[in-house]
Structure 1
C-alpha cells in the first residue's frame, strides 16, 4: 500500500514539474513573441478594431483619434472632435494611450495588413496630397505650424507653398515657399472633407 502511494506521489510530483516547465516555456515563448512586436503592428491592431487612442507627439500635441490606417512608417488618425484627419510619422510618436482591453488586444498577433500598405511610406502619402492639391497644416517638431499646399514630395522632404489656412493655393495668395524634411514633421493635418490615405 505504501509503495502504491509512493509511486502515486512520484507521478504527481513529475507531472507537476512537467507542468511547471511547460508553463515556464510558454511564458518565455510569449516574452520572445512580444519582443518582436513592432509599434506598427500594434497600430494595425488598433486600426482593425477602429480603436480610440490618445497619441502624444514630439511637438507636445495630443491627438484624441481613431486609427484609420497604417502605412510603412506612418498612420492616419481621424480626430474625434471633428478636427479632420492627420497623417503622423511613427517617429513623431512619444506615447500612445488606449483603453486597457484595446492595449492588451494590440499586443496579440496583429491582423495582416495589405502588402501594398507595407510599401506606402510617408513620402508616398505626401505625394498623394500633391496630387489632390489640398490645403494642409504641417506641424513641426519645434511646435511651429505651417499652412499651405504640398507642391512636391521628394524621398525625404516636401516643398510647401505657404498661404493662409482655409484658402486655396493661388499665385496671389502665396506668401512664401519652404522645403520641409520629413524628419522634422510631427503631423500633417488635413480638413475633415479631404479623404486621406488609409494605409
Structure 2
C-alpha cells in the first residue's frame, strides 16, 4: 500500500505542476494583454495631441528652437497661443512666430498640457493688436523670408498692414516709404526692434 500512496503523490505533483504551469501562462497572457491595452491607449492619446498642447507643456523651456524657413529662432519659450508662439531669442528680445510658418521644433520635453479657454481664444490677431497698440517699430518676416521694417498700423481678421519706414525713425507720414499687407497665412514672425 505504501507504493500506491507514492504513486498517488507523483500523479498529484504532476497535476499540481500542470495547474501551476497553466496559471503562469494565464498570468503571462494577462500581463501581455494589459501591456497591449496600455500601448494602444497611449497611441490613441498621442494621436489627439497637437502642436499647441505640446508647446504649452514647454512654456518656460530655455532652449526651444522654432525653424521658420531657413532660420531657427532659438531661445526661451515665453508663451503660446493656438496659432502663435513667443520666443525670447535674447533677453528682452521676444519674437512672435506664426505657428503655420513653423517647419520644425527642437528642444521640447515630453508631455502636453490642455489649453485654458482663454488660451484657445487668444489668437494671432489679438497678439498682433497688442504689438500694434504699442506703436513699436517691428520687423515683419513672411514665410518666404521677405522682411519689412516699420510700424503695424492695422490688424484685420486675417492680415496686418505695416507702414514701412527705417528702424531708427518714428512712424511719421514723411518717414513712411511704403505700405504692405501681410496675410496671416503667409506671416512668419514679428520682432520688435
Q: TM-score, normalised by structure 1?
A: 0.86
Q: What's the CA shift for 1:83?
A: 7.4
1:125 is aligned to: 127
Q: Work out the CA distance in 2 between the residues paired with 1:120 and 1:62.
A: 24
1:195 is aligned to: none
Q: Work out the CA distance in 1 between the residues paired with 2:102 and 2:117.
A: 23
**Which protein is bigger by CA-based radius of gyration?**
2
Please state if 1:8 is matched with 2:20. yes
Q: Secondary structure at the match of 2:58?
A: helix
Q: Work out the CA distance in 2 between the residues paired with 1:172 and 1:27.
A: 64
- In 2 relative to 1, CA 51–22 (structure 1 residues): closer, same or farther, beyond 3 Å? farther
Q: Secondary structure at the match of 1:86?
A: strand
Unaligned runs of 5+ in 2: 1-12
1:36 is aligned to: 48
Q: Within 5 Å, which residues of 2 pair with 1:95-174?
A: 95-98=104-107, 102-103=108-109, 105=110, 108=111, 110-174=112-176
1:75 is aligned to: 85
Q: TM-score, normalised by structure 2?
A: 0.88
Q: Work out the CA distance in 2 between the residues paired with 1:11 and 1:184.
A: 63
Q: Work out the CA distance in 2 between the residues paired with 1:83 and 1:56.
A: 20
The two structures, once aligned, show a CA RMSD in angstroms of: 1.5
Which deviations, in whole Å up to 9, do the C-alpha atoms of 1:64-104 show, x marking residues without a partner? 1111111121111110x447111111101101111xxx43x
Q: Work out the CA distance in 1 between the residues paired with 2:168 and 2:79.
A: 25
Q: Within 5 Å, which residues of 2 pair with 1:14-53?
A: 14-47=26-59, 49-53=60-64
Q: Work out the CA distance in 1 between the residues paired with 2:72 and 2:132.
A: 26
Higher relative contact order (CA 8 A, sep 6+): 1
Contact 2:84 2:123 (8 Å CA) reproduced: yes
Q: Work out the CA distance in 2 between the residues paired with 1:88 and 1:130.
A: 15
